Amino acid sequence: MACDNNARFAANPMSIPDRERVYADDSWRVAHSFDSALPGWLVVLPRRHVTAMHELTAEETAPLGTLLHTLSTALHDTTGCTKAYLMFFAEAEGFGHLHIHVVPRMPDFTDDVTGPRVFAYLKQPKADWVPDDEQDHIAREIRARL
Ligand SMILES: [Zn+2]
């Protein structure tokens, strides 16, 4: 899916919805997680198919620190999160394309969704996922702050 959307974006940036292009440069694209029940759950994806950090080039790696900081700041400003969690595993079946989760840690988080347990937000029924139009709205709000 990451590669499909990268290809569509490369052919025509406007062919994918706002939620799939929160941010993009030559190396990275940022999307709102399509299956999250938590508003503002972002994923940072390389523009080419890479499955491990050690496969990245120096040119791809260099801007990553700044990008993660900028996204964390934008999430703080738009969602009121106390910090942003950063995680990379790419272990789920069909999701081997490197993707770094940038997740707003909200002030009202309870114990059962704190730390690694935050992935509970990716295991909810589809009816509880953030609706597409809300994902698009969040994407535009974040993009405006980058
Ligand atoms: Zn891929």
Q: Tens of pLDDT along 24-63?
A: 999 999 999 999 999 999 999 999 999 999 999 999 999 9
Which structure tokens are listed for 69?
């900081």
DSSP 87: E
Q: What's the rounded Cα separation, in Å, for the pair 134 and 144?
A: 15
CA of 69 to the centre of ligand 1 (A): 24
Q: What SS3 class is residue 137? A: helix
CB within 5 A of ion ligand 1: which residues?
2-3, 49, 97
Closest CA to 119 of 58, 38, 57, 65: 38
Sequence-distant (≥ 6) Cβ neighbours of residue 7 within 8 angstroms:
none
CA of 9 to the centre of ligand 1 (A): 13
Whether 1 has a pLDDT exceeding 90, the answer reads no
CA of 82 to the centre of ligand 1 (A): 31
